Amino acid sequence: MVRIAHISDSHLGSSLFQLTERKEDARKCLKKAVEMAMQHSPDILVHTGDLFHSPLPQNDDMIFVIELFKNLKDKVRVIVLDGNHDIPYGYRYNFSPLRGLETMDLIVSTGKGPYATFREVYDGKTVEMHLLSWTSKPQFEYFLNSARPKEDIALFFAHDIPVVSENLPINFQYYGCGHKHNFWLDEEYDIGRPGSTGVVNWSREMGGKKKLIVVDIDNSGKNEYTLQTLNDVREFKFITGLDITGMGMEEVNQTLRNSLGKLAPKKTKPIIIVEVNGLIDTQTERGIQRKELIEYGEKKLDPLFLHIEPNWSSIGPRPVTLSKPLDVEASVLEYMKQTNDAYAEQVKELMPRFFGGEE
């Protein structure tokens, strides 16, 4: 039997919202993911790309990775692929930072090219591994369709798999990929994507999951999966589903304040993101007290960062058509109806009192 622990997309060096603290968080998230993986005693630890956020990583991140992988030497076979963030484009520096890790024999990767294969024996069975770093879709399809595994157990690891599951060859026992930052596992076709080790791009990852994928493949080629949730070391609080359509400025401000007031972070210095949707008029938009709301949230919750995402749309004055412009009563009611005034029905009941109807 061979056991694979699969992680991806650590983006060391990234700083969400330009927060320097997030660079340290990214290192802690990777270390935590590796420690969780090693608890399963894998034969292979594979990271399917974007280990770094830049092909020119800072010394702090490179030294951290060297020390991390040195501690894994002789314990597990470490495979790391080049992701799109690891490969230099337009730099005078021509090589991915993974080349240095390869020369130190800390990892196996694809070398100077995008594709490589190798074999190793586990539990008396030869396992054939096909590695494909970030490349174009035509090149991906070329390497995929040209692959002819000769061993009974064959694995295919790529930074991204840009083809539908049904079009993948059936002669690989497990396909591992990354790139999309959110967890996905198709046990029917044996394709796994763990997601990133920490939050990198909140707008893409909000609502998604991140999991360590552990794959046990027996000598007959049958897979068993063990999943373990990967939580960011920093607490994230997402407020979603806020729809302020048709609200006035006072109602919007109170709604946002109430939403912040309900939060109760469990860790110190969380990151709080409030996504606000809807359709409002320009006057209401001008009256949203974002500065005061952020100050209120910071005082109450003491976050590392609080962000209000203005995902609403604003409309200007709307045209109103009056069928009887000289009829004041009819014109008032038509105006309120066309502007979706919440008090239209109440005004309609009271209107006769002002125009000689009821006393």
The CATH number of the domain holding residue 143 is: 3.60.21.10
> Do 338 and 222 belong to one domain?
no
Looking at residue 17, the DSSP 8-state letter turns out to be G
Number of structural domains (the chain) is 3
> Do 309 and 325 belong to one domain?
no
- The alpha-carbon radius of gyration of the chain (Å, integer) is 28
> Do 28 and 75 belong to one domain?
yes
User: Would you say residue 354 has pLDDT above 70?
Assistant: no
Last residue of a domain, one of 201, 229, 257: 229
Identify the residue with better confidence: 121 or 319.
121
Cα 301 to Cα 306: distance, rounded to the nearest angstrom: 9
> Do 34 and 116 belong to one domain?
yes
> Do 305 and 219 belong to one domain?
no
> Do 20 and 92 belong to one domain?
yes
Query: What is the model's pLDDT at position 198?
Result: 97
Q: What's the pLDDT tens digit per position in 5-61?
A: 999 999 999 999 999 999 999 999 999 999 999 999 999 999 999 999 999 999 999
Q: What's the pLDDT tens digit per position in 170-225?
A: 999 999 999 999 999 999 999 999 999 999 999 999 889 999 999 999 977 789 99
Last residue of a domain, one of 200, 229, 258: 229
Among 328, 6, 1, 3, smallest CA distance to 196 is for: 6
> Do 45 and 132 belong to one domain?
yes
Q: Which range marks the domain in which residue 353 is found?
A: 320-359
Specify the pTM: 0.85
Bridge partners (DSSP) listed for residue 254: none
> Do 299 and 166 belong to one domain?
no
> Do 12 and 151 belong to one domain?
yes
> Do 311 and 325 belong to one domain?
no
Q: Which DSSP string corresponds to 155-184?
A: EEEES---S-GGGS-TT-SEEE--SS-S-E
Cα 251 to Cα 236: distance, rounded to the nearest angstrom: 26
Query: What is the model's pLDDT at position 277?
Result: 95
User: Would you say residue 81 has pLDDT above 50?
Assistant: yes
Residue 337's pLDDT band (cuts 50, 70, 90): confident
Report the chain's mean pLDDT, rounded to a whole number.
Answer: 92
> Do 253 and 200 belong to one domain?
no
> Do 283 and 302 belong to one domain?
yes
